[in-house]
């Protein structure tokens, strides 16, 4: 049963300063509303328990991109359509394009924001594994100022993260020129499109002469209570040759490192097997 509209209140601040003042004065009272694509699903199902929302969707301060020689900043209010169409992202960060295209239908991509996708804290979201792979930072803004949190340290547990009630995800910062020679993104779901992932893996690496891994970073979704970095697997693979034995050992390490669950979409055993298969596919692609 859907929620009743009169039960809810929405306030639209004129600018980012006003939004931060409201969040600071009434800490925890207002929940941020950006694209609203997840919140409206809960509303239609009658499961939207929070009643007061602060509409930040029109704030121009959250909508832009800043690019310099060292990094790109993606505004937290940028939609997935904006992200996948940005020329620098297309050229240098193709996994962000892949994940944006995997996020729902075109109508969702036109509305949903990357900041909202992060703040929703879903372990099955399509973008977080990519942010882990690219070692992204989050710029979190409050009325007291800003702070930077590396995305690999952001999630603290299921639906818990290092995001305070008075903070807005202002931007996502990704360093350019990381020395990436290979990248990989694969989402496995019930359908080829418009499905919640059963397993998602994003990886980047620098490989020397197609044989030795100089460094590698791997992000996964839907295999733990939070989007996770495969730290143990990465440590094993760093400075390793791409032999059949090393690839098989890395696969075994990954399957031990992840902690999927049985749920309505899939079984833990299946998720472990698929995650291992995706890693193998990624590592084999590094030889090319």
Residue 232, both tokens: 């143990």
**Token digits of residue 97:** 């394009």
- Comma-separated ranges of CATH 3.30.43 domains in the chain: 5-55
For 182-285, CATH number?
3.30.390.50
pTM: 0.93
Closest CA to 259 of 228, 216, 217: 228
What is the model's pLDDT at position 1? 44
CATH pick for 5-55 out of 1.10.3470, 1.10.357, 3.30.43, 1.10.8: 3.30.43
* Residue 40 confidence (pLDDT): 65
Selection from 114, 92, 116 nearest residue 31 by Cα: 116
Alpha-carbon distances, residue 173 vs 11, 65, 127 (angstroms): 28, 10, 14
- Cβ neighbours of residue 275 closer than 8 Å, sequence gap 6 or more: 199, 201, 220, 223, 254, 255, 258, 260
C-alpha distance from residue 161 to each of 178, 191, 230, 265 (Å): 26, 30, 18, 24
Of 27, 32, 136, 16, which is closest to residue 74 (Cα–Cα)? 136
pLDDT per residue, tens digit, the chain (288 aa), is: 455 566 788 999 999 999 999 999 977 899 998 987 777 666 666 667 777 899 999 899 999 999 999 999 999 999 999 999 999 999 999 999 999 999 988 999 999 999 999 999 999 999 999 999 999 999 999 999 999 999 999 999 999 999 999 999 999 999 999 999 999 999 998 755 556 889 999 999 999 987 899 999 999 999 999 999 999 999 999 999 999 999 999 999 999 999 998 888 889 999 999 999 999 999 999 998
Residues of the chain with CATH 3.30.390.50: 182-285
Closest CA to 163 of 118, 133, 129: 118
Per-residue model confidence (pLDDT) at position 37: 74
Question: CATH 3.30.465.10 spans which residues of the chain?
Answer: 64-175
Structure tokens, 261: 């669950």
Per CATH, the architecture of 64-175 is what? 2-Layer Sandwich (3.30)
Structure tokens at 81: 């359509």
């Amino acid at each position: 049963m859907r929620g009743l509209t009169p039960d809810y209140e929405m306030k639209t601040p004129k600018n980012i300063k006003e939004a931060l003042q409201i969040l600071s004065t009434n800490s925890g009272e207002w929940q941020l509303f950006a694209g609203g694509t997840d919140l409206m699903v809960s509303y239609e199902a009658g499961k939207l328990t929070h009643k007061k929302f602060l509409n930040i969707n029109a704030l121009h301060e959250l909508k832009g991109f800043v690019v310099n020689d060292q990094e790109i900043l993606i505004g937290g209010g940028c939609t997935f359509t904006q992200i996948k169409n940005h020329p620098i992202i297309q050229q240098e960060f193709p996994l962000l394009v892949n994940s944006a295209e995997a996020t729902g239908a075109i109508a969702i991509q036109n509305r949903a924001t990357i900041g909202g996708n992060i703040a929703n804290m879903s372990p099955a979201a399509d973008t977080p594994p990519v942010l882990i792979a690219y070692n992204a930072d989050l710029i979190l803004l409050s009325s007291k100022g800003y702070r930077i949190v590396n995305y690999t340290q952001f999630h603290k547990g299921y639906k818990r993260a290092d995001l305070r009630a008075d903070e807005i995800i202002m931007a996502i910062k990704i360093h350019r020129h990381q020395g990436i020679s290979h990248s990989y993104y694969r989402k496995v779901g019930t359908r080829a499109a418009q499905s919640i992932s059963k397993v998602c893996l994003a990886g980047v690496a620098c490989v020397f002469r197609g044989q030795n891994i100089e460094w590698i970073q791997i992000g996964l979704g839907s295999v733990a209570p939070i989007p996770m970095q495969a730290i143990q697997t990465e440590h094993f693979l760093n400075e390793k040759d791409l032999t059949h034995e090393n690839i098989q050992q890395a696969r075994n390490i990954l399957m031990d490192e992840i902690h999927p669950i049985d749920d309505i979409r899939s079984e833990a055993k299946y998720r472990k097997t698929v995650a291992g298969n995706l890693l193998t596919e990624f590592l084999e692609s590094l030889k090319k």
